[in-house]
Amino acid sequence: MSSDLSMILPRVVIVSRRTVRKNKFVDFVGEYHLDLIVRYGAVPVIVPRVSGVHMLLNSFQPIHGVLLCEGEDIDPSFYEQDIITTSGLSQEELDEIRRVHVSDTSIDKEKDSIELSLAKHCVERNIPYMGICRGSQVLNVACGGTLYQDIEKELPKCRPESETVMHINYDDYDGHRHVVKVVESTPLHHWFKDSLQQNGKMEIFVNSYHHQGVKRLAPRFVPMAFSSDGLIEGFYDPDNYNPEEGKFIMGLQFHPERMRKPDSDEFDYHGCPFAYKEFVKAVIVYEKRLNGLTYVQKPLKLNKEMEKKRNEIEKVKVNEEKEKMARNVMGKMSVEQLSDLLSFYHTMGHICCEVLETKINNHVNYDFS
């Protein structure tokens, strides 16, 4: 295994989701996410959804990017004080929602704590972040936004029936699509530009696996797409979006990684994988910038410079003369003196390593508290 730190790829943290298999919990992450992260040049680091992990997030440093994806509904207490009062839903309606969407409505507070902490960490430090589906909702909530408890029951109350959109279809789970209108001059517009020009409309068909969605968008974000019922299907932070500079903070309600033709790995649109491509591009730039700040790679550069100078010295035989002089001096020293000299340089080496490590750790202060 190479010890050259310059060969270590940037790290993208992904939080697992858990399910029950053979009467035990199993943590998992969708393979499409992992495949695209690796394809474009980063390494997925999976944070297990295990009790207490939200207190151990510093152990996953360095974090060069965060990708949060599918999962259960976010605990409403993180963004609304009273579910019934703020949502306008009756207790009977809430009970019906839990019956219809049983796999999504089982709240996982540990996952909520882990992911909200990571989202806030990214926003505060401008670490590249991409939220897919639930991950986009986590980002919005982390920045002060709110969610619809159930789109089907809440949106029709303020929209005409003709604009109703099916946002989840359990009978055609992966095949279901609905139209979204793409906002001009946004990253989404840029990624799908060729397809939008071909159909002559600012519209694409996206998949949909959710019964909740963004209600009030956090002020820092700008919408990138809307479904015909007015629901925000994508948003980003324009002040923190420039992959070439390591900036990327975005949420997509749909799953571009799963928008593929039936029984094929071919994407519905050429632009589908671009979100991952641009996200990883930002992660790579951020990692390089972080390494420069923390002096991780500077010792390597110094070693190369020293090696080059040493080769030059050997060519002109200067080093041989210095070595000869050192041997002559040491040859006149006693055993005790040589032992003391060796001990002195050994101690200096340990002290140098400790001081260097302290300086590096103090230079970048990671804090999830």
Mean pLDDT of 186-194: 96
Summarised one tens digit per residue, pLDDT across range 136-161 is 999 999 999 999 988 888 876 666 66
Q: How far apart are CA 106 and CA 230, in angstroms?
A: 27
Which among 115, 257, 278, 287 is annotated as catalytic? 257
Higher-pLDDT residue of 65, 106: 65
Mean pLDDT of 56-73: 90
Q: Give the contacts of 286 (CB within 8 A, at least 6 positions apart).
A: 10, 64, 65, 127, 128, 246, 247
* Cβ–Cβ < 8 Å for 168, 208: yes
pLDDT at site 338: 75
DSSP structural state of residue 70: -
Q: How far apart are CA 368 and CA 55, in angstroms?
A: 8
Using CA atoms, how far residue 16 sits from 13, 28, 231, 313, 361, in Å, is 10, 5, 27, 54, 28
pTM of the model: 0.75
Which among 64, 115, 255, 278 is annotated as catalytic? 255
Q: Is 257 part of the annotated catalytic residue set?
A: yes
The full set of domains in the chain, from first to last, is 9-294 (3.40.50.880), 298-363 (no CATH)
Instruction: Give the chain's mean pLDDT.
Output: 84
Give 18-27's long-range contacts (Cβ < 8 A, gap of 24+).
18/49, 18/108, 18/111
**Phi and psi, residue 268, nearest 5°:** -60, -40
CB atoms within 10 A of CB 302: 10
Which among 33, 54, 101, 133 is annotated as catalytic? 133
- CA proximity to 145, closest of 209, 74, 204: 74
Q: Is 133 part of the annotated catalytic residue set?
A: yes
Summarised one tens digit per residue, pLDDT across range 20-47 is 788 877 777 889 999 999 999 999 999 9
